[in-house]
């Protein structure tokens, strides 16, 4: 005699009360979406995953020539290419995660409109794909350190903390844009502008130390200023200094961005299947 089939209980409000547990229950879907996106990302490209190396490397060369050789901006004693690439790593991760997250729900609309699962899994898996590119790009930083015979000091052990900060900034902004893009498709045009504009107003090609002291705190309203300064502080060591009031302000804004992003996403995700 066959055992009794599993009992299915439909309970009012269960989805809300069990949401965070469901995130763990659906972890295999998270792994699948992330792995699928990694495979699809460079499918049918000639040089494949090497694109993750070429883009930041060429941008680093341009910034080094323009800001280091032509504008003669200070590098605080560190080789200018390493100064630039220490900022390029978190910026590329943030920009890529923003673009991937904002489109993630639209790309997976067929899945979202058919079955229940915590929608938070979709933008989270998109961020993981950008994080893989981040790890691959780190190879260039190691190569630059070897080329310039540059040895980081003890601060390098704090780098994971700043990676978490970059992750929080990318996730927070990505959740806002993913949710907004479902309802307002204008954001597919706004996101590339945000990424391009953000590159100019963030200290990627130059050190934030060249900003006049009276403007440093205001400049730190950009959350990526604290993230980039933290990366440089950990990687360059030596004369690289953190402007602590600005760093604390940026960190606080990253935390606010993440918490508000989760809150807004949770408020709107129940309507995704109807609107998308």
pTM as predicted:
0.87
User: Over the stretch 2-45, which tens digit does the pLDDT of each residue have?
Assistant: 556 656 555 555 666 677 888 888 888 888 888 888 887 777 67
Residues 6+ apart with CB under 8 A from 73: 67, 206, 207, 210
Q: Which residues of the chain have pLDDT under 70?
A: 1-17, 44, 46-48
At residue 269, the pLDDT reads: 85
At residue 237, the pLDDT reads: 83
At residue 2, the pLDDT reads: 52
User: What letter would DSSP give residue 174?
Assistant: H
Between the alpha carbon of residue 194 and those of residues 174, 199, 206, 246, the distances in Å are: 12, 9, 19, 22
């Amino acid at each position: 005699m066959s055992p009794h089939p599993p009992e299915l209980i439909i309970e009012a409000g269960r989805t809300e009360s069990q949401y965070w547990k469901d995130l763990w229950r659906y972890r295999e879907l998270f792994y699948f979406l992330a792995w699928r996106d990694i495979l699809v990302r460079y499918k049918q490209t000639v040089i494949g995953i090497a694109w993750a190396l070429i883009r930041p490397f060429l941008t680093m060369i341009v910034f080094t020539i323009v800001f280091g050789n032509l504008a003669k901006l200070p590098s605080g004693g560190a080789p200018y290419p390493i100064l630039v690439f220490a900022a390029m790593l978190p910026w590329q991760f943030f920009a890529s995660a923003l673009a991937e997250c904002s489109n993630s729900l639209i790309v997976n609309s067929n899945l979202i409109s058919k079955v229940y699962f915590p929608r938070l899994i979709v933008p989270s898996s998109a961020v993981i794909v950008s994080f893989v590119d981040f790890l691959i790009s780190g190879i260039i930083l190691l190569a630059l350190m070897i080329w310039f015979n540059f040895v980081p000091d003890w601060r390098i052990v704090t780098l994971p903390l700043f990676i978490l900060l970059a992750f929080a900034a990318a996730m927070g902004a990505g959740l806002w844009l993913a949710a907004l893009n479902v309802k307002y498709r204008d954001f597919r045009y706004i996101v590339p502008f945000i990424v391009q504009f953000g590159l100019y107003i963030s200290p990627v090609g130059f050190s934030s130390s060249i900003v006049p002291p009276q403007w440093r705190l205001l400049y730190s309203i950009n959350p990526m200023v604290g993230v980039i300064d933290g990366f440089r502080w950990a990687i360059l060591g030596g004369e690289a200094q953190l402007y602590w009031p600005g760093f604390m302000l940026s960190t606080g804004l990253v935390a606010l961005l993440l918490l508000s992003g989760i809150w807004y996403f949770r408020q709107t995700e129940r309507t995704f299947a109807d609107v998308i």
